[in-house]
Amino acid sequence: MRYEAPDTIKAAVGLLSTAKGSSRILAGGTDLLVQMRSGMVEPDLIVDIKRIPGMRDIVAEDGGFRIGAAVSGAELREHAKLKAMWPGVVEAANLIGSTQVQGRATMVGNLCNASPAADSVLALIAAGATARVVGPKRARDVAVADIAVGPGKTSLGKGEFVASLFLPKPAPRSGDAYLRFIPRTEMDIAVVGASVSLTLNAKGVITAARVALGAVGPRAIVADKAAKAIVGTSLDETALANLAAAASAAAKPIDDKRGTVEFRIKVAGVLARRAAVIAYDRAKG
Return residues touching ligand FAD (CB under 6 A): 24-32, 34, 49, 69, 95-97, 101, 104-106, 108-110, 112-113, 118-119, 156, 161-162, 187, 189
CB of 122 to ligand FAD, least distance (A): 9
Judged by beta carbon, residue 156 or residue 222, the one nearer ligand FAD is 156
CB of 45 to ligand FAD, least distance (A): 11
The pairing of beta strand 161-167 with beta strand 153-154: unpaired
CB 177 within 8 A of CB 278: yes
- Give the residue among 127, 145, 131, 129 at the shortest CA–CA distance from 87: 127
Judged by beta carbon, residue 111 or residue 239, the one nearer ligand FAD is 111
CB of 43 to ligand FAD, least distance (A): 8
CB of 113 to ligand FAD, least distance (A): 4
Adjacent-strand bridge partners of 106: 72
How far apart are the C-alpha atoms of 43 and 127, rounded to whole Å?
33
Q: Identify the three-state secondary structure at position 165.
A: strand
CB of 129 to ligand FAD, least distance (A): 14
Question: CA distances (Å), 204 to each of 226, 274, 283, in order?
Answer: 19, 18, 9
CB of 46 to ligand FAD, least distance (A): 8
Judged by beta carbon, residue 178 or residue 280, the one nearer ligand FAD is 178
Judged by beta carbon, residue 93 or residue 226, the one nearer ligand FAD is 93
How far apart are the C-alpha atoms of 47 and 45, rounded to whole Å?
6
Amino acid 41 reads V
Judged by beta carbon, residue 152 or residue 168, the one nearer ligand FAD is 152
| Percent of the chain that is helix, strand, coil (3-state, to 5) | 35, 25, 40
How far apart are the C-alpha atoms of 87 and 127, rounded to whole Å?
10
Judged by beta carbon, residue 52 or residue 244, the one nearer ligand FAD is 52
How far apart are the C-alpha atoms of 223 and 250, rounded to whole Å?
6
CB of 213 to ligand FAD, least distance (A): 14
- CA geometry: angle 244, 249, 252, nearest 5 deg: 125
Judged by beta carbon, residue 81 or residue 153, the one nearer ligand FAD is 153
| Nearest residue to the partner ligand FAD, using Cβ | 109
